[in-house]
Amino acid sequence: MGTSEALISHSTFLAEGLAVAMAMLTAPLLADLAVCIAGNLRRGPRAHAAKVREIRLAVVVPAHDEEAMIERTVQSLFAAGCAPNSSLFAEDSSAEAWSVPVTVVAHNCSDQTATVAAVTGARVVELNHVRMRGKGVALRCGFEAARAAGANAFLVVDADSVVSRNLVAATTAALERGAVATQCRYELELPSSRKATSLERLRVLAFRGINVLRARGRASLGFSAGVFGNGFAVADETIERVPFTVDSICEDLEYHVQLVLARLRVAWVEEAYVHAPLAPVRSAQATQEARWEGGRFHVATRATGKLLAAMARGNWRTSEMLAEAWSLPISRGVLALILAACLPVYWLHVFAIAGAALVLAYVLEAVLLGDNPWRDFAALASAPVHILWKLAITPLVLRQSRGGAEWARTQREAHTP
């Protein structure tokens, strides 16, 4: 074989190897998109199951330096049917007389979060311990406090969020019908004090795809909807079976993995929502997204072996959980498909075209779920800028994936009610 033939053979081998690697990299994302698209297309009227148990729900709000947001959050919970601390009566904790309490866990706060929450009317538990860090620690403390007050189910709401007026009722109803855990719609709010930029709209759209479109699609096909750490509820008996011992920066994904491994399914609450503000500052947004992505990668690497073993034992729901854990963010997936189309491998071109069709269908479904589809369509023009930005923060994502990231407050704009 001549030198030129050897070079061609070597180049072909290298291209094929890169093609296989690119296909493996994007396959989990495309599988996850296919599931959610199919699930959303087949959605129909839901059967209303009968009530099978009594639920005494309590709301737990983990908070770290949230004095600027906590009042708005607690007031929205009162508007949703929760009871102020002054109106709670511990003497009668029956389901019929139960008043849903709000417990704010002020965890290692250096501001007036605890004071503001107490004045607003919430129960407050202050947890100040240098060595006890993380949202998981705060949630365990809140669950224990709510359980001691008579609750047998817990709804988690982040301290920067507002909730729909039907959230408490819808969550309680789902748990009463037998759900072991629930997740409602979780979306980001655009700035209320100014016009949103195209990049901000794009990020809200991407968030909607992950936390609404994919969740409802999975649930429609019989998979577990997911746990997003905000608007998530769990029955006490579920915690008894699968203890909430997670402490990573992505404690929601980590706990969801444990639920799926235990053959438990999170039910989707379509009619209720929680909204949280978008991080507007570019540096704050980079830190937040890097923590999410890095944390997910850390959880995925630790959970893969267990998920594969469970799949081999017949737990079919772990297949979708595995795809979710290893699914690239949509922007990185698009970049990978573009790179795949540039390689001189025919079958990879077909793969990239099929993947692009899935991405397009997914984006269209996410756009149509919003309240202003035309503006969301227009925002897609800024996608190339967002993809390049995601590429630029890759080193930060890799640093966060080492598992040492801590729970921290994200800088945000002041939000008016």
**DSSP secondary structure letter of residue 289:** H
- What crossing angle do the helices spanning 282-312 and 251-261 adopt, rounded to 10°? 10
Indicate the helix (H) or strand (E) that contains 233: strand 232-235
pLDDT value at residue 257: 95
- Which is nearest to 238 in space by CA: 210, 271, 267, 273? 267
Answer whether residue 332 is part of any domain: yes
- Which is nearest to 300 in space by CA: 262, 326, 320? 326
Structure tokens at 198: 């195209």
Answer whether residue 46 is part of any domain: no
Structure tokens at 15: 């291209």
Question: Domain check: are 33 and 61 in the same one?
Answer: no
pLDDT value at residue 416: 47
Measured distance CA(105)–CA(49) in Å, rounded: 34
Question: Domain check: are 342 and 221 in the same one?
Answer: no
- Which is nearest to 266 in space by CA: 213, 202, 329, 216? 216
Question: Domain check: are 228 and 270 in the same one?
Answer: yes
Answer whether residue 11 is part of any domain: no
Structure tokens at 189: 């709010």
pLDDT value at residue 95: 56
pLDDT value at residue 227: 95
Residues pairing with 102 in the sheet: 59
Full domain range(s) for residue 196: 57-281
Cα 76 to Cα 110, 162, 195, 417, distances in angstroms = 24, 6, 24, 10
Question: Domain check: are 267 and 324 in the same one?
Answer: no
Q: What is the dihedral of CA 311, 312, 316, 319, to 10 degrees?
A: 40
pLDDT value at residue 2: 53
CATH number at residue 71: 3.90.550.10
Q: What is the pLDDT along the chain (417 residues), one digit of tens a residue?
A: 556 555 555 567 677 888 888 899 999 999 999 999 999 987 666 656 778 889 999 999 999 999 999 999 999 999 999 999 866 555 555 556 689 999 999 998 999 999 999 999 999 999 887 566 788 899 999 999 999 999 999 999 999 999 999 999 999 999 999 999 999 999 998 887 788 888 889 989 999 999 999 999 999 999 999 999 999 999 999 999 999 998 887 889 999 999 999 999 999 999 999 999 887 656 566 677 777 777 788 888 999 999 999 999 999 889 999 999 999 889 899 999 998 888 888 899 999 999 999 999 999 999 998 888 999 989 898 888 888 888 887 777 777 666 555 555 555 555 544
Question: Domain check: are 253 and 350 in the same one?
Answer: no
Question: Domain check: are 133 and 243 in the same one?
Answer: yes
Structure tokens at 380: 């897609």
Question: Domain check: are 33 and 129 in the same one?
Answer: no
Question: Domain check: are 355 and 380 in the same one?
Answer: yes
Question: Domain check: are 80 and 36 in the same one?
Answer: no
Answer whether residue 409 is part of any domain: no
Question: Domain check: are 24 and 136 in the same one?
Answer: no
Q: How many domains does the chain have?
A: 2
Question: Domain check: are 34 and 86 in the same one?
Answer: no
Q: ∠ CA(278), CA(284), CA(286), 5° rounding?
A: 95
Answer whether residue 52 is part of any domain: no
Question: Domain check: are 243 and 391 in the same one?
Answer: no
Answer whether residue 152 is part of any domain: yes
Residues contacting 213, CB < 8 A, separation 6+ = 36, 40, 362, 365, 366, 369
Answer whether residue 4 is part of any domain: no
Q: What is the dihedral of CA 127, 133, 138, 144, to 10 degrees?
A: -80
Pairing state of beta strands 153-156 and 57-63? parallel
pLDDT value at residue 417: 44
- Which is nearest to 168 in space by CA: 269, 43, 51, 290? 269
pLDDT value at residue 54: 92
Q: How far out from the chain centre does Cα 249 lie?
A: 12
Measured distance CA(310)–CA(307) in Å, rounded: 5
pTM for the full model?
A: 0.89
Cα 160 to Cα 38, 70, 188, 226, distances in angstroms = 33, 6, 11, 21
- Which is nearest to 251 in space by CA: 107, 62, 59? 62
